[in-house]
Amino acid sequence: MLETRNLTDCSSGQNLTEPPLDTAGCLFLSILPYGQAVPALVCGFVLFTLFSFLVNLLTLLAVWWSEELSWQPRFTLVKNLILSDLMQITTFGPAVIHSLVQRRTMPFRTWCYVQYFIGSTSIFTSLLTITCMALERYLFVCRAIHYLVILTEACLRRVLTLIWMFSIAVGVVTMALLHTGGAQSSGSVTMGLLCEPDMMEQHMGFPRSSAIFRKVVGTVTLLLCLMVFFFSYCRMYQDARNAVIPFNADNNKARKTVLLDCGMFLMQLLPLLLKVVSDALWEVRGNAAMTGRSSQAGDVCTVKPAPTATAAVLHVSLLMMLMVPPCINPMQYGLRNAEVRQALRRLIHRVTEEVADVAERVGDGAHQNRAQEA
């Protein structure tokens, strides 16, 4: 069994009990040398994927079919966030599960480019949408008189168009710069379970322009979004405190709301923060620290250098964190709202009644057929 294999099975055919692993299997073993961890990871990714699909679809249907919610600017942004999350989970979840089940790293094919482009676009779209949602709440709380004047339907369309245009443009430019590397990496497999930025750059010969553009744009966008988000919630919290200071009361509800929203936003940023840390580590320690041969795996994966232990841990951690935001976003920005829960209950009740009506008509038709035959 694969669980009992060790890294010596990758080097040659000296192990007479089992055939040697190919390049993809050898690289997978260098990333996850402990076979017992693979079933646990498979279960975790399957649960994350199914749960994310369920809560996102339920929230989207509840908002979409509710006349009271569909026109509100807040829930227009929520629908855009759910669309982005569905793109992200569809791109990442099944691909990682397939690699884990097959115990092979990702093959470098056309799907790798598609996965990288859709993944980067959806991540930027989610981040910008959540930032716009914080601005929308700031306008609603602190500029209530001008709220509907500023957030018109035309304004929302322009904002959503800019979000998608910026995200797509970043993906297109990064994809173009990936092909500026001086040397192409040989082989038809990558060194990871997903075609994320580091894996793509490793395979494409470390194009410096692509790495610089990705890191600069990602870091600047992240910092700007953080500034806008914390500015919006700090102003909302200050206004809430000022409203109750004359009554010598403490606005616990406002504090809890701000802390909860900030905590969920930081969870949304976990993958991006980890990516910034890994990029900084890359720059400090050099390419050899992330892709050079490790003392154990490098001696056994003779076809191409194996990732080090640091790179393997960062890669698997990043994959796990990428599955978290699509799970918490619909609950934080959708199902936590009482109006959305009421709309969802009405939708479920409506669907249940329609199913019961269809079942009743089918039963009546079958009864009439039996009566005619008799």
- Tens digit of each residue's pLDDT (9 = 90 or more) over 310-329: 667 777 878 888 888 888 88
Query: Which residues on neighbouring strands pair with residue 193, listed in sequence order?
Result: none
- Give Cβ neighbours of residue 122 (< 8 Å, ≥ 6 apart): 84, 85, 87, 88, 91, 167
pLDDT digits (tens, 9 = 90+) for 282-296: 554 444 444 444 444
Mean pLDDT over residues 8-27, rounded?
Answer: 56
The Cα–Cα gap between 207 and 1 comes to 39
For the segment 56-83, the average pLDDT, to the nearest whole number, is 87
Which among 12-21, 46-55, 144-153, 205-214 has the top mean pLDDT?
A: 46-55
pLDDT score recorded for residue 162: 96
What value does the mean pLDDT take over residues 38-48?
90
Alpha carbons 40 and 46: distance in angstroms, whole number: 10
Mean pLDDT comparison of 81-85, 230-234, 244-248, 280-284, highest-scoring range: 81-85
pLDDT of residue 286: 43
Domains of the chain: 2-9+24-365 (1.20.1070.10)
Asked whether residue 13 carries a pLDDT value surpassing 50, the answer given is no
Predicted local distance difference test score (pLDDT) of residue 52? 92
Overall average pLDDT of the 350-367 stretch? 74
Inform me whether the pLDDT recorded for 198 exceeds 90.
Answer: no
Record the tokens describing residue 244, joined without a space. 């109750």
List Cβ neighbours of 251 (8 Å cut-off, separation of 6 or more): 240, 241, 243, 244
pLDDT at residue 3 above 50?
no
Q: Does 246 score more than 60 pLDDT?
A: no
Q: Tell me the sheet residues that pair with 107.
A: 189
Bridge partners (DSSP) of residue 189 are 107
Half-sphere exposure of 320 (CA within 13 A, CB side): 13
**Residues in CB range of 134: below 8 A, 6 or more apart:** 228, 229, 232, 233, 261, 265
Most confident of 117-121, 187-191, 339-343: 117-121
Instruction: Report the predicted TM-score, pTM, of the whole model to 2 decimal places.
Output: 0.80
Residues 6+ apart with CB under 8 A from 272: 123, 127, 218, 222
pLDDT band at 300 (very low <50, low <70, confident <90, very high): very low
- When pLDDT is cut at 50, 70 and 90, the band that residue 19 belongs to is very low
Torsions phi, psi for 93 (to 5 deg): -60, -60
Mean pLDDT value across residues 174-193: 72
pLDDT at 57 over 80: yes
Higher pLDDT, 271 or 48: 48
pLDDT at 152: 87
Q: What integer best gives the mean pLDDT of the chain? A: 77
- What was the pLDDT predicted at 278? 66
pLDDT surpasses 50 at 222: yes
pLDDT confidence band for 255 (50 / 70 / 90): low
Higher pLDDT among residues 266 and 45, named by residue: 45
Q: What is the pLDDT of residue 84?
A: 93
Encoding tokens for residue 236? 């909302």
Q: Give the Cα separation of 193 and 323 in Å (integer).
A: 14
